[in-house]
Structure 1
Amino acid sequence: MATHESEETTVSDSGMITIPADIRRRLDIGAGDKLRWDVDESGRLTVEVVHQREGVFDDFEPVDAGETNAVEAEREFGSE
């Protein structure tokens, strides 16, 4: 059976909390990630990590959309 260690944080006056460093490392929580909060009917709070870091499209290959800009398009098609 897995061991479960609890950690506590304090809620600030403005409602902010700090996620303990050990938990951030264990769950790979980084800057730009989001937390999804849910409370069930019994009042139990669950938090889910939603990884949403910058650069999420770094794996995509670029698509050549051409070098035409608005000025070039006007020259190419003429002004009416």
Structure 2
Amino acid sequence: MSRGVEDETTVNDSYSVTVPAAVRRAADIEAGDKLRWRVDEDGTLSIEIVKQRYGAFSELEPVNIGETTNAAEDHDFVAGDH
């Protein structure tokens, strides 16, 4: 995150907060990202950005197992079921 960006927001009645635009831009937070909240024993609050990963498997090479498979059709297949 870029240094020097500071802003504040208010916790609403449903305990939701809005991440200020300047903070979103500086931290490169996008829709779908998650914020992991942590409170240390001394009361320090830290927030970790967990980036939403698109195409996590796109760089994997297929493995030839000697038979034709179709993941879209076979995704519920359980070993031993035929």
Q: Same fold (TM over 0.5)?
A: yes
- TM bin (shorter chain): 0.5 to 0.7
Q: Which residue of 2 aligns with 1:51?
A: 51
Unaligned runs of 5+ in 2: 75-82
Q: Indicate the structure (1 or 2) with the bigger Cα radius of gyration.
A: 1
**Cα pair distance change 1:46/1:67, threshold 3 Å:** closer
Give the number of aligned pairs: 70
Q: CA RMSD in A?
A: 3.0
TM-score (norm 1): 0.63
Among all aligned residue pairs of Structure 1 and Structure 2, give the percentage whose two residues are the same amino acid.
50
**Cα pair distance change 1:58/1:24, threshold 3 Å:** farther
TM-score (norm 2): 0.62
Between Structure 1 and Structure 2, which shows a larger proportion of helix residues? 1
Unaligned runs of 5+ in 1: 71-80
